[in-house]
Amino acid sequence: MILLVEDNPADLRLTQEVLRMAAFPHQLMVARDGEQALHMLHRRSGYEEGLLPDLILLDLNLPRLDGREVLREIKNDSQLRRIPVMVLSTSKAERDVQACYDAHANCYVAKPVDLMEFTRLIELVRDFWFGVVRLSTRPSD
Dihedral through CA 9, CA 14, CA 15, CA 21, nearest 10? 150
pLDDT of residue 25: 67
Q: Which amino acid is at 126?
A: R
pLDDT digits (tens, 9 = 90+) for 92-127: 999 999 999 999 999 999 988 888 898 888 888 888
- The domain spans of the chain are 2-126
The whole-model pTM stands at 0.91
Quote the Cα angle for 124-117-2, to 5°.
45
**Architecture of the CATH domain 2-126:** 3-Layer(aba) Sandwich (3.40)
pLDDT digits (tens, 9 = 90+) for 40-76: 999 998 888 888 999 999 999 999 999 999 999 999 9
